[in-house]
Chains A and B, each alone.
Chain A
């Protein structure tokens, strides 16, 4: 069965620090990849997605993610975090041709001002 691993469950950073959240998946075929964000008290929102093409994708609010096929990874990055980035981040995978999204366990990011 497909699975998604997010190794960092909790991350605490100071403002202006760089961020990288890891995401690895297990599936041998072609996949679509997503990062969702859930700000405190808000609903889940799409941050960015990768379907094909340039493996470096840019999302909203300065986030980007890089798909490395050989490593089955889709890590999320931001060069300089802000206090407003405090949220929970979920990586999700969908094998091409299927509708089901498989989510990772999420990473809680706390950015201290």
Chain B
């Protein structure tokens, strides 16, 4: 399995501010995924990030709100912009190692927006 780390592990933020979440994988991977898990709900895919190309966003998620960077094959960032209390959630990074067709998840970033 892939070893995936995320920073920060948790944060409390004021509305209107932005937070950038970092995801680091222990080896080079083609695809990285960002999910959101709102309180009491399941995981929802925000976007898929390939190195060297624009991220692909799922319905209901837009680049202006959740800009993503993928500067290399082991790292990605997700920014939650202009936050509101509705953005309080756990944000998870995931990757799918080539040939395994199985997604592995990071520990998540628990965000609370006041």
Contact = CB atoms under 8 A, between A and B. Distances in A.
B105 A44 contact: yes
Nearest to B1: A46
Contacts, number: 40
A32 interface: yes
A53 B103 CA distance: 20
Nearest to A34: B102
Given A99-B31, A99-B48, A100-B48, A44 B42 contact: no
Contacts of B92: 43-44
Interface residues of B, number: 21
Main secondary structure of the interface of A (DSSP, over half): loop
Interface in A45-104: 45-46, 49, 51, 90, 99-101, 103-104
B102 A49 contact: yes
Q: How many interface residues does chain A have, given as a range?
A: 10 to 19
A36 B104 CA distance: 10
A51 B101 contact: yes
Given A99-B31, A99-B48, A43 B43 contact: no
A3 to B, nearest CB: 11
Contact of B41 (A42, A51, A105): A105
B87 interface: no
Contacts of A106: 42
Contacts of B67: none
B111 to A, nearest CB: 15
A107 to B, nearest CB: 11
A106 B37 CA distance: 11
Interface of A: 32, 34, 36, 42-46, 49, 51, 90, 99-101, 103-106
5 contacts: A34-B102, A42-B107, A99-B31, A100-B48, A101-B94
